[in-house]
Structure 1
C-alpha cells in the first residue's frame, strides 16, 4: 500500500493537538519560524535547539523540517546579516529549503509535554500543574444517528478523544427519538427516496469534547456516520476542563534521600553532573519540576508543599533563598529539556504511522557546558 505524502501544514496540525499554540505565553514566539506551510515534507528531525551544527546535521540527512523546542527567532530581528551565527543559520535553512517550527512554552505547559516527560523519567507520580494558568475549554457535542449505527459512532467518538471526564473515557448519554427528513433532488440518501418524507428511528448521542480534539472528533464522526449529511450540534460549556499550567508537582512512591534522588536524576536524564542545595541525607518525597529556567518559582514550589524543586539556571542568591527556606533545589541544567526530543519523535511516529515520512532526532549536543 502506497503511503500518503504530507506537507508542513499537516505536521503542524498534529503538533498543535499535542501542544496548542494558545497555551504559549504572550512573550513567546512559537509556530513556523522559517519556511512555508505548504512545503512537502518527507523527513523530519526533532531537536532542542537550532544551532548551525544542527542545521548541518539536517542538511547531511536530507531533512526538510526541523521541529525545535527553543525558538530560532525569539526576539524581533532588525537586520539579517549572514556573517553572524544566526544569519548563517537562516541562510543555510533557506538555501536548502528547510523549514523550522518551534513548540516552546506551549510544550512546557501541555499535557504530555516537557514537564510530564520529566516526571515520567524521574518516577514522580500523581503530578499536577505547579503554576495553574487555567483549564481546557470544553464543548458538548450532540450527534443524531440511526439506531443501526449508534455503536460505530460511539466508538468513533471515544477513539478520537471525546467523552473524557476525569479518569473516565468513552462517556456518552443517549436518548431515542424519531428523525424525519425529505431527500431533495441531487441527493444520494443512505435511507429513503428522493422527494419522499422519511421517518427513521434514531438516537441522540451526547458527549463532552476538549477544544483541542473537536475537529478530529467531528472528522471521525462524519467518517463513521452513514448519512450523506450528518446532523450535529456543538454547545460551548462553562464546565471547567482539565487544568493546565507551568511545571508539575507530584510524589515519589517511596521516600529517598536527597543524594539517592540526585543519583537517579543523573542516570535517568543521562547527565554528567548537577548542582544541589540542602542536606544530602534529608528525606525527600514531594517533588516540584520545571524544565528550563524556573528559579523565580521557588516560593511557589515551597508554598505547594514541595520538599525538593528541580529546575535549571538557578543563580547564587536564589539558591541561598531556597536553602534558607528549607527547600532543596536540584539544578540539572537547562539542557535537561532534551527529553522532549524522544517524546515528540514517538508522538509523531504514532500520528504518522501510515504516512510517507521519516523521523529522526538530532544527535548533535547543543549543551554549551562541559564538566571537567
Structure 2
C-alpha cells in the first residue's frame, strides 16, 4: 500500500502560492482558480503558459489531467454567454465535461521572488540582480518574546529556522537582553515554573527579532511550540521601515559586455526563439540588462532610470520603439511566448513541494505549442 496521500486542487495550489501568493497580483489581474472545484482530488497536474488554448485543453483531456496550472488566464474579461457553438464556449464546455480545473498564476508569479522574471534573469546569467519597477514591499514587524534562560537557545533557534530575523542576506538576526520575569500562577493553571498563588521570579531573556507580515503566522506557531510556558508573553509591533522590494522585471549586469547584435543572438539561444526584433545600433556595447517577461514596453523608462543599456521584453509597438531609441535605450523583443521557458523550473519547484507533502501527484509539462507567430 502506498504511503502517499491523495491531494486536492486546494492543496496543490496552496503549494504554488507559497512561491507566488495571490496578494502579489496586480489589482486588475485575474488569478487563482478559474474553473473547477477546489476540493476535487488531483492525480495529474499539467503546467502550460496558456490555458485559453484548445490544443492545451485537448492535450489535458488526452493525458487524463485533473488540473491545468497556467500563466495566462482562461477567463480574463467578463463572460456574457457560454454558447457552445463559439470557440470560447466550446473550450469551457470541454473543461467542465471532463472535470478539468484551471488555475492561473499571472502577475503574482511575475513579481514573486523565484518567479518568471528571476528565471528569465538567470537564463541571461545576470549578476547583481534587482527589481526593475517596485510594486510592493514586504511589511515588517518586530516580534518580542520573553523566555526563561533555560530555553533561550531553543526558542531563538526555532524563531530563526521558521524565517524570523532576515535582514538582507543575514538570517537568525535578533537582540537578546537578560532580566527578571515575575508572575503569579492563578487557580486552574498548570505552570511550568512555580506554584499557584505564589509570586515567582525567573531569569528570562527578552528576544527581539524581525518578521515579515507574510511569515508571521508560521514564526509565531514555531515560537509557541518551542516555548515551555503555558501562557507565552510576546508582543508584535508594526514597523515603518520597508522590507524586501518586490515588483515587475529584473535588472542586472552581464558577465561580459557584448555588442547589441551579439546580445540579441545570445537572447535567441537562451530563450529558444528563431528570431528577435532589435531596436538600436547593432555595434552598441551593452553590459547592463533589464528583462521583463510578457509585454513590458511601458517599462523602458524604468529601465533607463536603472541605467540599463537594453530592455528585453515582448510585444513592443512602433511608437514605443521610436521613443526608446530617441531616449537612448536599446530594445530586444524575443516575443511574448518566451515565458514558456520558465515552466521546467516551476515543474521542479512543484514536484519538490509534492514530494515534501507526500502527495500522490504527477506534474507534467504541456507539449502544445501556443506560439501564434511563425517566421518566414
Task: Specify if TM > 0.5.
Answer: yes
User: What's the counterpart of residue 16 of structure 2?
Assistant: 15
1:360 paired to 2:370: no
User: What's the counterpart of residue 40 of structure 1?
Assistant: 41
Tell me, which stretches of 5 or more residues in structure 2 are unaligned? none
1:65 paired to 2:67: yes
Tell me, which stretches of 5 or more residues in structure 1 are unaligned? none
Which residue of 151, 168, 175 corresponds with 2:170? 168
The CA deviation at 1:296 is 1.9
Distance in 2 separating the partners of 1:184 and 1:41: 50
Describe the SS at the equivalent of 1:157.
Answer: helix
1:84 paired to 2:80: no
Which residue of 311, 324, 327 corresponds with 1:325? 327
> What are the superposed Cα offsets for residues 96-128 of structure 1, whole Å, 9 maximum, x if unpaired?
222222111122122222111111110112122
The CA deviation at 1:185 is 7.3
The CA deviation at 1:310 is 0.4
User: What's the counterpart of residue 130 of structure 1?
Assistant: 132
Distance in 1 separating the partners of 2:297 and 2:255: 26
The CA deviation at 1:256 is 1.1
Describe the SS at the equivalent of 1:204.
Answer: strand
User: What's the counterpart of residue 25 of structure 2?
Assistant: 24
Describe the SS at the equivalent of 2:331.
Answer: strand
The CA deviation at 1:138 is 1.0
The CA deviation at 1:166 is 1.5
Distance in 2 separating the partners of 1:237 and 1:191: 33
What TM-score do you get using the length of structure 1 for normalisation?
0.90
The CA deviation at 1:146 is 3.4
Distance in 2 separating the partners of 1:241 and 1:16: 20
1:17 and 1:212 in contact (8 A); partners too: no
Distance in 1 separating the partners of 2:156 and 2:84: 55
The CA deviation at 1:186 is 7.0
1:114 and 1:339 in contact (8 A); partners too: no
Distance in 1 separating the partners of 2:146 and 2:299: 48
Describe the SS at the equivalent of 1:241.
Answer: strand
1:335 paired to 2:341: no
1:20 and 1:212 in contact (8 A); partners too: no
Distance in 2 separating the partners of 1:253 and 1:318: 28
Which residue of 349, 354, 373 corresponds with 1:369? 373
2:24 and 2:136 in contact (8 A); partners too: no
1:217 paired to 2:184: no
User: What's the counterpart of residue 4 of structure 2?
Assistant: 3
User: What's the counterpart of residue 207 of structure 2?
Assistant: 205
Which residue of 247, 250, 253 corresponds with 1:251? 253
Evaluate the alpha carbon distance shift between residue 232 and residue 358 of structure 1 in structure 2; reply closer, same or farther with a 3 A threshold.
Answer: farther
Distance in 1 separating the partners of 2:190 and 2:62: 52
1:109 and 1:244 in contact (8 A); partners too: yes
Distance in 1 separating the partners of 2:4 and 2:259: 51
Distance in 2 separating the partners of 1:4 and 1:176: 46
Describe the SS at the equivalent of 2:68.
Answer: strand
Distance in 2 separating the partners of 1:37 and 1:197: 52
Distance in 2 separating the partners of 1:351 and 1:193: 45
Describe the SS at the equivalent of 2:356.
Answer: coil
Distance in 2 separating the partners of 1:59 and 1:183: 63
Instruction: After superposing the two structures, state which structure 1 stretch, 100-109 or 224-233, moved more.
Output: 224-233
1:234 paired to 2:236: yes
Evaluate the alpha carbon distance shift between residue 191 and residue 71 of structure 1 in structure 2; reply closer, same or farther with a 3 A threshold.
Answer: farther
Instruction: After superposing the two structures, state which structure 1 stretch, 148-157 or 123-132, moved more.
Output: 148-157
What TM-score do you get using the length of structure 2 for normalisation?
0.89
The CA deviation at 1:265 is 1.4
1:23 and 1:106 in contact (8 A); partners too: yes
